[in-house]
A and B are shown apart, each in its own frame.
Chain A
Amino acid sequence: MTLTVKPKTWPGAIREVTLGAGSRQGLTIGGGKGLPLHTFEAAFPRRPLLALEITDVDPPRWVDTVRAPWDGALGRPDVAAKRAVEEYGADVVMLHLVGTHPDRGDRSPAEAVEATRQVLDAVGVPLIVKGPGGGSRQNDVLVRVAEECRGEGLVLHSAAQEDYKSLAAVTVAYGHVLVAESPIDLNIAKQLNILLSDANVDMDRVLIDPMTGGLGYGLEYSYSVMQRIRLAALGGDRMLNAPVICLVGEEAWKAKEVKVDGTPAAVWGDRARRGVQWEIATALPLLEAGADLLVLRHPEALAEVRRVVDGWFVAGS
């Protein structure tokens, strides 16, 4: 007897969103017509993309084991961007403007623009620009960057339900892509997209960041909310079918378990390798749950996730 497990078919599909424009070589994500990575039963015209995170200033919080591969490039966004793309093979670069945070350097919007320009000049890949986090500084910085770098199809990270209007406006006015961030909540993710849509943001220019919990620190919440978002999208919900971005590196490298030396060594193993594997073990489940764009920190984690993704989308039987 031949055994048949019926393939799953869905009425909906994930939107395609193109990152990068102007002087960038555009790259498109999304388009999947089935459950994430279920390449054996559904069409996936685009493979997930992998980004590396770089910063405008030397990030004091990065633990030594993830600083090591960026030696000589930390706080030098042009050097770091080149290394990310040319040596480490990132598809996309995320410039995290940590230094614009009032408590971490208080750099001005003009300095943020300068850092962004350096990266745009150094590499031709799409660029994600992440602000310093909630509050008015976030808007000041990202709005200026969006204005000054118009037409580059930057991915602006991020707008939230409480505060999305100014970023929505510059996304529309200057041809960028906007990340809509929600706190691990399907309803808020949907609500925010409705608000953005009402603010005239084309849904083909929106990514969902459902908020990433790192391994051991809420990964399961992100995993499940992403699966639920994906099921809704495949079911035909057009306010939830945006591609998903996950900031993996930032969360994975926050974990206590990547920092401690750990005794006994037999139980904790090699600290540097543990950190890389912590990042991999955060990234792969999120890919399974529907991530279309992963932002990583360690090039060895990127190399392994790349190996997995490439194998998947070639084999794909």
Chain B
Amino acid sequence: MALTGLQIFKLLPNTNCKKCGCPTCLAFAMKLAAGKESLDKCPDASPEAQAALGAASAPPIRAVTIGHGERAITVGEETVFFRHEKTFVHRPGFFRVLDASTPASAIEDRLTDWSAIRIDRAGEVFRVDGIAVVESPGSPEFAPAAAQAAAAHGLPVAILAATTKGAAAAAEPIKDRRPLIVPPAGADPGPFVALAARLGAALVVSGADLDSLAAAAADAARAGVADILLEPPGDDLATLHKHLTLVRRGALERIHPGLAYPVFLRVGAGEFSKAVVGTSTFASIMAVADSGGETWMPLWTLRQNIYTDPQQPLRMDPGIYAIGEPTGASPLLVTTNFSLTYFTVSTELDGVGVACYLAVVDAEGLSVLTAWSAGKFSGDRVGKALRELKAAEHVSHRTIIIPGYVAVISGELEDALGDGWQVLTGPQEASDIGPFFRDVWETARPK
């Protein structure tokens, strides 16, 4: 928590020597508290004052980096509780669990497949962010082999350890790749702390409650571990959510230095809801046991939603937007300037792969049906807007595709546009645009 002016004042020499340019130490303290001055200006400030002010201005949640090189992932450094306050800083990393039951011969294939995944969605690339290798005393060769293979693919590695010895064997060879060591639940943290400190690796600490969690992190920091993640307790979702919430709140309120770290979660097979709650509620690294796309697609997408800029306007600027590289013969569609509508339609058009123009007209940020019933998407209004946007200069034809929900405006729009314009009624739902292009546009298109 930031210090108050009076708290800072108590740390100053109280000589009122004016060397800082302020008439009194108190005046200077008030400016410091308001962030309008810097402590350097007081030449007599004690080391204690510097330390206290420095700690108060450090980020409430430390940055932690796992991995090395292009695919290294940094988490932490969050500054707010609600996403509407300010964009969340670092998207959480989703690590795929590579189980010790994987035959040695299959490790390479699996890693090749996983590291090659790239899904482009709305300006973001979805990838597997890292590999969580399971260490199993029953197959001591597995974890070191898998960890090295994953590191060789450039992927960040977490080691879900069973024993200190096994964790050391897996982490040591890749120690310059900043691995993350995750001790088993309930283990004595001491040997793992020593291992992480010795290797310079990142470490997950846990605790049965908030107190012991914070204490464990503080102990690990004191023992020389720089990169720490917190694994909050909670066997059921309510308890987990409570601790996720309290860790974030405690960190932001700076109530204990042991809470100033990002959060780690393990998500077992079939624990989809836990992964969802973790993604929306402050988890920073998750090791996800399920590897199927039916789990990863929604998680990636949810992460994309939660971590976007909350200031993105709900209304688009009216205009003619090019999708792909359209030519004069490409389709021309029109919709409202409600950004959800625009986003749904443009994402779909992108996906369909037909280059076209999408005219976005000012309908006061309402969706198609709402806009129409409020008189903001009438034939007259749309026609006038299209003329203002000079739609006719973009295409060589005179066909405009309107949303299926407003088929009724066809006649009025044709009248409003005049000049031989024809209205083609498109589908009601954006998801039907593909079939529409194939079945309707291909036959109706102006030749």
List A residues at the B interface (Cβ < 8 Å): 1-6, 37-40, 61, 103, 133-135, 138, 160, 162-163, 183-185, 213, 215-221, 223-224, 227-228, 231, 254-257, 259, 262, 265-271, 273-274, 277-278, 280-281, 284-285, 288, 304, 307-308, 311-313, 315-317
Give CA–CA (A162, B105) in the complex, Å: 65
Contact B314 A185 (CB under 8 A): yes
Contact A284 B113 (CB under 8 A): no
Contact B369 A134 (CB under 8 A): yes
Q: Which residue of B lies closest to A263 (CB)?
A: B293
Give CA–CA (A82, B391) in the complex, Å: 52
Q: Which residue of B lies closest to A217 (CB)?
A: B344
Residues of B within 8 A of A271 (CB): 294
Q: Which residue of A lies closest to B376 (CB)?
A: A162
Give CA–CA (A216, B340) in the complex, Å: 10
Interface residues of B in 311-359 (CB under 8 A from A): 314, 338-340, 343-344, 347-348, 351
Q: Could you name 5 residue pairs across A and B whose Cβ atoms are closer than 8 Å? A: A215-B305, A216-B122, A256-B347, A285-B306, A317-B238
Give CA–CA (A268, B295) in the complex, Å: 8
Give CA–CA (A268, B298) in the complex, Å: 10
Shortest distance from the beta carbon of B326 to any chain A beta carbon, whole Å: 21
Residues of A within 8 A of B343 (CB): 217-218
Contact A219 B298 (CB under 8 A): no
B388 in the interface, Cβ–Cβ < 8 Å?
no
Residues of B within 8 Å of A, CB-based: how many? Answer: 70
Q: Which residue of B lies closest to A227 (CB)?
A: B82
A-B contact count (CB 8 A): 193
Residues of A within 8 A of B253 (CB): 5-6
Which of A5, A135, A163, A268 is in CB contact (< 8 Å) with B249? Answer: A5
Answer whether A269 and B370 are a contact pair too, CB < 8 Å, given A5-B255, A281-B299: no
Answer whether A183 and B431 are a contact pair too, CB < 8 Å, given A256-B351, A270-B294: no
Which of B298, B306, B344 is in CB contact (< 8 Å) with A278? Answer: B298
Contact B245 A38 (CB under 8 A): yes
Which of A223, A266, A280 is in CB contact (< 8 Å) with B272? Answer: A280
B280 in the interface, Cβ–Cβ < 8 Å?
yes
Contact B302 A285 (CB under 8 A): yes
In the complex, per-residue mask of B230-243: 1 if CB is within 8 Å of any chain A CB, else 0: 00000011110110
Give CA–CA (A216, B299) in the complex, Å: 10
Give CA–CA (A293, B117) in the complex, Å: 37
B399 in the interface, Cβ–Cβ < 8 Å?
no
